[in-house]
Structure 1
C-alpha cells in the first residue's frame, strides 16, 4: 500500500544549528529508505521546511515505525502526517 507522508521541521522550537548538526544523518537515513524501496518519491516542500514523499509499506503502523527512526524525529524536531492512499476510480473500472 502507498502512503503520502508530509513532514515539517519545527523551526519555531529549534534553531537552524540544531538541524545542521543532524543533517548528514537525516540524509543518510533518507537514502537508506530510498534504496530499500520504502521511499518511492520525495520532494522538498515549497510552503515550509520539510519534505513530502510517497512511501510503500504494508500498514500505516509500519510507515510510522520506520519514520520514527529519522534523526530529526528522534530529536523531537519533526512533525509527520501519514495519509493512506487508494487507487483513483475516475478512470474506469
Structure 2
C-alpha cells in the first residue's frame, strides 16, 4: 500500500463515525438530539434540543435514518480526506 494512501486511511479511521455509537446516543439522548450532535448536524441538533425532538416525532423518525446518515457522513469525510491527500477514488 502506498504510504500516502495508508496515511489517508489512518486519518479517516480517526474521524469515522460508528453507527453503533450513533444508535446508542439515539437511544439515550435521542429526544435532545445527541446522535445528531455526534454526526455533526448542529442545526438539526439544536432544533431537536429546543423542541424535545419535535415532541418526539423527529426522534422516532430518526431510528430509520441514523444508519444512512452515518454512512453519508463517513463517505463525505473520506472523500474530503482523500482529496486533501491528492488521492482520486473511482
Same topology, TM > 0.5: no
- TM-score, normalised on structure 2? 0.28
- Of the two, which has the highest radius of gyration? 2
Structure holding more strand per residue = 1
Structure holding more helix per residue = 2
- TM-score, normalised on structure 1? 0.28
Structure with larger RCO (C-alpha < 8 A, sep 6+): 1
